[in-house]
Structure 1
Amino acid sequence: MTGLMERPMQFEVNGETVKLSGAMVKDYLVRGNGDVSDQELVMFMNLCKFQKLNPFLNEAYLIKFGSQPAQIIVSKEAFMKRAENHPKYEGFEAGIIVERKGELVEVEGAVKLTEDKLIGGWAKIYRSDRKKPITTRISLDEFSKGQATWKAMPLNMIRKSAIVNAQREAFPDTLGALYTEDDALTQTEPRDVTPNVQEEIKQHANTEELDFVPETGEIIEPEPPEKVLEPVTSEGPGF
């Protein structure tokens, strides 16, 4: 595994070159108190490569608690950017759901009256090939985990979470295998996203280019080349 830890993987994101090695991921891109496995490092690095994510801009990172499976998380901003680049994307509407005088009211944006009680968020995603928008309504109680950001900006956070969930439903082929911080569960209830990521990479990548075989989890050390070869590029899933 020395090659994986020290030999950087190189790819481009928005015209910028990203170099990523297992050691970099371990040192800078893992959150939690667990020790990530070699397979989890490879999965994370290849997801970043094929989904064109720059982890050094916080577009993706790993969460690992104890011996539980690692969770690969994509930022909401990166998630939303990918949806907006889809050729059939035609915008969105989003807002919050409040209880007002005993009735549920959908408010556009993230502003409510003082007496309103925040209940949840909603979003509509428009596609050029659909007659009706894809609509999602989510509950604040289910999504808020009591973090400082949710306490400080609950209206903005629930609205953004509704957008992300609506975009995932609108573009399941390109966003279905990506998980945001809202999908990350607590330390005692971890979610194993590895099978989804394995399937995503297996569909869009030649396993000969990977440092391991997804079907078996076998780690493969690349042999040093006998001569200098022209680089072979592999494009990830496009929109």
Structure 2
Amino acid sequence: MALNNTLAKKQDDQVIRYDSNGTEIKLSPAIVRNYLVNGNGDVTNQEVVMFLNLCKAQHLNPFLREAYLIKFGNQPATIVTGKEVFTKRARRNKDFAGYEAGIIVQNEAGELESRSGTLHIEGEQIVGGWAKVHIRGYDVPIEASVSFDEYCLKKDGHPASNWAAKPGTMIRKVALVQALREAFPEELQGMYSAEEMDVQATLDETPIQEPDEQPIPQEPEADPLA
């Protein structure tokens, strides 16, 4: 039993290193478990490994909240990427030529309108979001349009707080990250925002810690039994 515990500890403390935009990132299963898991559930070894591999493969810096590992109860863990990662990486691509994004509303006359931004007035209903990503050399932009009801998460029949307070902002973000991911699959594959996943309603009640609220992890010391 003692030998098994020693081997498990050695695996948990094994550090991987990679570069993220000029910064060397050091991660281990122990660091992930102790500092980078949000929620109230216990992550499995498989979930931790999946998170480590995504961060390394996509050069994400979880200490800058570029990636989250979220676990509530016995539900499967969810790996979420911050929206800024999508826009920053798109801007770094030499072929990126800008984007447009907004909402689709049904006005008081029952007509559908696609609007830039998120402005809507009382009596209008937000029914979706849209985005266009312009790429140099393409005749037409990469477009995405999404349905509001498909992504507006509800609890007890009511929208989660962010979706109720900022419906336009939320659905516009979904459309934008989907268009960006389709436009730049190599830079953004495997990454999804919280608004696209089934975690936002719970995150409204259990806010993610800000970076300065978390202690800075140190590289684990060498195992004296190794």
TM-score (norm 1): 0.71
1:124-163 deviations in Å (ceiling 9; x for gaps): 0111131101111111111121332222211112111110
1:46 matched to 2:59? no
**Structure 1 stretch 124-133 or stretch 165-174: which is displaced more?**
165-174
Quick one: distance in 1 between partners of 2:10 and 2:136? 46
Give the direction of change, closer, same or farther, for the CA distance of 1:34–1:164 in structure 2 (3 Å limit). Answer: same
**SS at the partner of 1:107?**
strand
1:14 matched to 2:21? yes
1:73-116 deviations in Å (ceiling 9; x for gaps): 11122122222222221111111111111100011111123332
- Which structure shows the bigger proportion of residues in helix conformation? 2
Quick one: distance in 2 between partners of 1:39 and 1:118? 39
Shift of the alpha carbon at 1:48? 1.0
Query: Which residue type is aligned with residue 141 of structure 2?
Result: P
Quick one: distance in 2 between partners of 1:6 and 1:186? 29
Task: Name structure 1 gaps, 5 residues minimum.
Answer: 188-223, 225-239
Quick one: distance in 2 between partners of 1:47 and 1:69? 16
| Percent of residue pairs identical | 46
Quick one: distance in 1 between partners of 2:16 and 2:80? 19
Query: Which residue type is aligned with residue 25 of structure 1?
Result: V
**Which residue is 1:209 aligned to?**
none
**Which residue is 2:213 aligned to?**
none
Query: Which residue type is aligned with residue 105 of structure 2?
Result: V
1:207-229 deviations in Å (ceiling 9; x for gaps): xxxxxxxxxxxxxxxxx8xxxxx
Regions of 4+ moved over 6 Å: none
Quick one: distance in 2 between partners of 1:42 and 1:11? 15
The correspondence of residues 141-180 of structure 1 with structure 2, limited to 5 A, is 141-145=149-153, 146-180=159-193
Aligned counterpart for 2:137 among listed residues 126, 129, 132: 129
TM-score (norm 2): 0.74
Quick one: distance in 2 between partners of 1:83 and 1:2? 39
**Which residue is 1:64 aligned to?**
71
Residue 54 of structure 2 contacts residue 190 of structure 2 at CA under 8 Å; is this kept in 1? no
Aligned counterpart for 2:148 among listed residues 121, 125, 140: 140
> How many pairs are equivalent?
188
1:181-201 deviations in Å (ceiling 9; x for gaps): 1332269xxxxxxxxxxxxxx
Query: Which residue type is aligned with residue 17 of structure 1?
Result: E
Quick one: distance in 1 between partners of 2:48 and 2:99? 35
Shift of the alpha carbon at 1:177? 1.6
1:34 matched to 2:34? no
Query: Which residue type is aligned with residue 57 of structure 1?
Result: L
The correspondence of residues 78-117 of structure 1 with structure 2, limited to 5 A, is 78-100=85-107, 101-117=109-125
The correspondence of residues 177-188 of structure 1 with structure 2, limited to 5 A, is 177-185=190-198
Task: Name structure 2 gaps, 5 residues minimum.
Answer: 1-7, 154-158, 201-225
Shift of the alpha carbon at 1:26? 1.0
Shift of the alpha carbon at 1:43? 2.2
Shift of the alpha carbon at 1:67? 4.5
Query: Which residue type is aligned with residue 81 of structure 2?
Result: V
**SS at the partner of 2:97?**
strand
